[in-house]
Every structure is written in structure tokens, then in C-alpha cells.
Amino acid sequence: MSATQYKAGSNLEKILSEGKFAVTGECGPPKSADGTVIEEKAKILKGFVDAVNITDNQTAVVRVCSMASGIQAQQNGLEAIMQMTCRDRNRLAMQADILGASVLGIKNILCLTGDHMSFGNHPEAKGVHDLDAINLIKMYKDMRDEKKLQCGDEMDVAPALYIGCAENPFGDPFEFRALRLKKKVEAGADFMQTQCIFNIPKFKKWMEEVRAIGLHKEIKILAGLTPLKGVGAAKYMKNFVPGMDVPQEIVDRMASVEKGPPAQAEGKKLAVEMIKEIAEIEGVAGVHLMAVEWEIAVPEIVEMAGLLPRPAVA
């Protein structure tokens, strides 16, 4: 395929365009000016994922910004998926940041609403929310395809972007979730990642609704998974993370195993089973492994799931 057929020509885009099953990972930047963290994580994940999400003040906790960490990841040979939330920046900053990111080689961008300030370490902050995620997707799409800023001003050089979004198949109202993805597709999203899935039957139901309106053909869907380190992690997800649906069987399964290495092994095993089951679902184009603060588990999981070697694309 020639470069002009791609929107941005990122590794992730090429793999998905060729219909290969994609694997993305996730990295949380450090909560300080520590330049070594991303380097370390990049070393762990390189070769095991096609691109890595760099979170943006996730759960409203301050960390090194996604752009800086994303650039650092790419400098260390790992393609980044930069994230942008609507909570922290207005439309000027969001455009300025994506132009800067694009200039410095970032191609993948995930457009998110952002967890509310009250969840994080600065609950007194003023939430920006100048735009919502759908406005943001459209704004970036128009920058790329129309060469125009949100106000209509024309740009000489458009940013080359592969635009992603997130969707929560378990959020409510349930019957609206596939329709909300449709809105994001219409706004211009190229790929999407789901929130981490533990309830596979419910996810399958959501995929049915997505396929019923043909969305799986219009957008590349990556299913989100989080390997569990232990029963504590399972319970935390179930009770404290917004929008999560963790079936009791999973909590029980993790509880039935001894803490420490045995639990971790079980967690990895469970993750591999889930990857294999999800890969069979029609319309799923890849998996998004969110092994937050457990990046070292990713290589083993990817290998056990039979996803190595990662495809090399031109």
C-alpha cells in the first residue's frame, strides 16, 4: 500500500488496515519529572505491542503529560498513542498540543472526555470541558482532512493523525452505547478501544448491536483487557473504578488462588483465555492490554496468547 492511502501511516494504522490482529498496550507516565520511567516501560513493551497508549492525567491524577511521554516512548523505539482529555484543556490548547505532537512525530491520538476532577488528587481544580469527546474527534478530523482549525482558519500543513476514541460497552444507558459509538464514527474516529472487559457475554451482546448497524466495518475495534494481579485488584476494579463491570465469578476465581506469584500466574492465565475468546468475536480487530503498573506481565501474556511475533509493516 502506498503512503497516500493512509491517514497518518502509523504502525498501528498499517497493521489494522491490513486486517491483522493488533495488540496495543498502555503506559502511565510518572507522577514526577522522572525521565527514566517511560524509558524502562518502553524497553519492556517494545516488540510485544504495536503501539502503546500514553495516558493523560488518568483518573485526574497529575503525571507527566501524554505528549512528552509519548515522544519519549517513540524516541525509545515504541510507537505511542497519545491521549487527550477534554477535562484539562480548552480547544485552543487541544489544537496547539496536537500540532506540536504531530510536528514531533506522534501520529496516533485517542480522544477522551476524561475522568472527573473529583476522582483525582486535585479535586478543587476547575474542569475545562470546553468540548466533549465527540467535538474533539471532529475537530481533529477536520484539522487533518480539511486542513482547517476549529474556527475555520486554514492551515498550510495539516497534522497526519490516526484518530481513536474510547467506548464503554458496560456504561449506561446500555441500549444507547452502540449508538454513541456511531456518533463517534460519524465525527471521524478511525479506531476505538473499549474499557477493560471482564464480562465477556455482555461484551458479545454489545458487539452484536455494533455489528447490527455495521459499525465494525467503519471503525477498528480493539477490545480492552486488564490482567489481574490478584483478588485485591479485582475488587478495586469492581467497586472503585467508574464504569467497570466485573462479574463475581472472576473475583471468586482470583480469590481462590494464593496471593503473590500464584495469583499473578492465574491473572495472566485468565487474561490469555479472555484474549483468545475475544479474538474469535466477529468485528474485533485487536486487543488493548492495560497492564497498568504491571507492564512486565505483557510480554508473557502476548506470547501465551499466540500473538507473537508482532507483524512488521512497511
Partner 1 sequence: MITAERKPFDEIYAMTEGHDKVLVAGCDTCVAVCLTGGEKEAEILAAELRIKAKQDGRDVQIEHTAAIRQCEWEYLDAIAAKVEEHPLVLSLACGIGIQSMAEKFAPRLVMPAVNTNMLGMPQEHAVWLERCGACGECVIGDTAGICPVVRCSKSLMNGPCGGSHDGKCEVTTPEKEDIDCAWALIWDRLKAQGREELMLVNRPPKDWSKSSSGGPRKMVREEAKPV
**Interface ranges with partner 1 (CB under 8 A):** 86-87, 91, 113-116, 118-119, 127, 129-135, 138-139, 150, 166-168, 171-173, 176, 179-180, 182-183, 186-187, 195, 242-243
3-state secondary structure 209-254: HHHHCCHHHHCEEEEEECCCCCHHHHHHHHHHCCCCCCCHHHHHHH
Instruction: Select 89 or 138, whichever has its Cβ closest to partner 1.
Output: 138
Instruction: Select 111 or 275, whichever has its Cβ closest to partner 1.
Output: 111
For strands 162-167 and 80-85, give the pairing.
Answer: unpaired
Strand partners of residue 284: 221
CA atoms within 13 Å, Cβ hemisphere of 257: 23
Residues 6 or more apart whose Cβ sits within 8 Å of residue 231: 251, 254, 255, 257, 259, 263
The whole-angstrom separation of Cα 42 and Cα 51 is 10
Closest distance of CB 86 from partner 1, Å: 7
Instruction: Select 6 or 119, whichever has its Cβ closest to partner 1.
Output: 119
Instruction: Select 35 or 123, whichever has its Cβ closest to partner 1.
Output: 123
Asked whether 224 and 170 are in contact (CB, 8 A), the reply is no
Closest distance of CB 245 from partner 1, Å: 9
Coil vs helix vs strand at 291: coil
Closest distance of CB 218 from partner 1, Å: 15
Instruction: Select 15 or 60, whichever has its Cβ closest to partner 1.
Output: 60
Asked whether 98 and 92 are in contact (CB, 8 A), the reply is no
Closest distance of CB 113 from partner 1, Å: 4
Residues 6 or more apart whose Cβ sits within 8 Å of residue 33: 64
What are the angstrom distances between the C-alpha of 62 and each of 120, 242, 276?
Answer: 8, 18, 35
Closest distance of CB 215 from partner 1, Å: 13
Closest distance of CB 93 from partner 1, Å: 14
CA atoms within 13 Å, Cβ hemisphere of 159: 26
Q: Quick one: DSSP state of residue 46?
A: B
Closest distance of CB 30 from partner 1, Å: 25
Instruction: Select 129 or 235, whichever has its Cβ closest to partner 1.
Output: 129
Instruction: Select 32 or 248, whichever has its Cβ closest to partner 1.
Output: 248
42: its cell numbers: 518502553
